[in-house]
Amino acid sequence: MDVEVVSILMPARPDDLPFDLRSLEIFLAVCEAGGMAAAARRVGLTQPAVSTAVAELEARLGAGLFDRTVRPLALTPAGALLRQRASALISEARQIAPGLREVARGRLPLVRLGLVDSLSRALAAPLAGHLAARADQVSILSGLTSAHAGALVTRNLDLMIGVDDLGDVAGLERWPIATETYLLALPRGTHVGTVADLAALARELTFVRFSARSSTGVEIERHLRRLGLELPRGLEFDTPYGVAATVAAGGHFAVTTPLCVLEAACDVAGVSFAPTPGPRLTRRLTLVALARVLGRLPQDVAEFARARLAAEALPAIEAASPALAGAIEIG
């Protein structure tokens, strides 16, 4: 009868974990000490306590861990495997508390920011300074947004600024940085009004691509396909500099954005910028961070980035080409 009652009262608690960190510590002590009596001394318990703890662990796991028919105690295959796994688990567990205490004090031990290539020149140095005041150690990585997105969700990155807001991942917070319209970059004097003009242009000039590894490149490609344009595969680059420098050299055209041009920091006197024919294509730069872990920091960083872009990048873009400046909006 009692059994019945119990099974009715506790159906919702499978208690799936068959061990505790403490029991794993004891198990590891036995492995290292080479015996239960020695392990008991090491962890400050008596020998029977260790003996029962190990027996309990074996029962719960449903697997023998030691071969007792031989002395000194030998590990079974399952025991050897548990030794590997348990020591990894415990060393991870040990790393949790220290970081937590620092975060609680408002002190961030390490902040890692992933910055999309096209903002690297405009923001890498200022952000480094801004973050250095708030964390003991700062690491800023420039690269492709796709790589950063992966790093963020696997917790190898704390913050990222890029062109993907990871809308499908929960537990993230997002802050807008800027919105840009894609523009045609053409040799000065060229006029493109329609899709047909563009197709004609492609027969005279080589189209320069952003690589399909970058989300910018993928966006542009998709847009061109929507326009019904099949441009020949020619040059392609991973970084904004390659694209801009090639166009600036003449004989090429590309689709790019104001910040990509700024990032390249090359002379664009011979280049004019014009809207793409057909519908406008825009990209949105967003700061993404793990929700709440960093307190107000993501919001602060986003504000700082916007202010910095407004104060430094916009004038520089305006100076390079008014048409460019009209295609970017902060926020």
Partner DNA sequence: TCATACTATAAATTCTTTTTATATTGAGCG
Partner DNA sequence: CGCTCAATATAAAAAGAATTTATAGTATGA
Q: Site residues (CB under 8 A) for a copy of itself?
A: 10, 12-13, 16-22, 25, 42-44, 61-64, 75-82, 84-86, 88-90, 92-94, 96-97, 99-101, 103-104, 106, 155, 290-295
Indicate which of a copy of itself, DNA, none lies near residue 10 (CB less than 5 to 8 Å, by partner kind). Answer: a copy of itself
CA–CA separation, 141 and 247 (whole Å): 27
How many chain residues interact with DNA (CB under 7 A)? 26
**Least separation, in Å, of the C-beta of 68 and DNA?**
5
Comparing CA positions, the residue from 130, 128, 136 lying closest to residue 110 is: 136
**Least separation, in Å, of the C-beta of 175 and DNA?**
25
Of residues 71-110, those binding DNA (CB under 7 A): 71-73
Q: Are 302 and 277 in contact (CB under 8 A)?
A: no
CA–CA separation, 247 and 268 (whole Å): 9
Indicate which of a copy of itself, DNA, none lies near residue 295 (CB less than 5 to 8 Å, by partner kind). Answer: a copy of itself
Q: Which is nearer to DNA, 13 or 203 (CB)?
A: 13
Indicate which of DNA, a copy of itself, none lies near residue 271 (CB less than 5 to 8 Å, by partner kind). Answer: none
CA–CA separation, 94 and 149 (whole Å): 27
Span of 30-38, 138-146, 231-239, 296-304 interacting with DNA by CB under 7 A: 30-38
**Least separation, in Å, of the C-beta of 79 and a copy of itself?**
8
Indicate which of a copy of itself, DNA, none lies near residue 81 (CB less than 5 to 8 Å, by partner kind). Answer: a copy of itself
**Which residues on adjacent β-strands are paired with residue 285?**
178
CA–CA separation, 186 and 253 (whole Å): 5
Span of 41-49, 90-98, 184-192, 273-281 interacting with DNA by CB under 7 A: 41-49
Comparing CA positions, the residue from 322, 115, 144 lying closest to residue 237 is: 144
Indicate which of DNA, a copy of itself, none lies near residue 69 (CB less than 5 to 8 Å, by partner kind). Answer: DNA
CA–CA separation, 193 and 275 (whole Å): 9
Q: Which long-range contacts (CB under 8 A, 24 or more apart) does 55-60 make?
A: 56/23, 57/18, 57/19, 57/23, 57/24, 57/26, 57/27, 60/18, 60/19
Q: Are 126 and 173 in contact (CB under 8 A)?
A: no
Q: Which residues bind DNA (CB under 7 A)?
A: 20, 22-23, 35-38, 44-49, 51-56, 66, 68-73
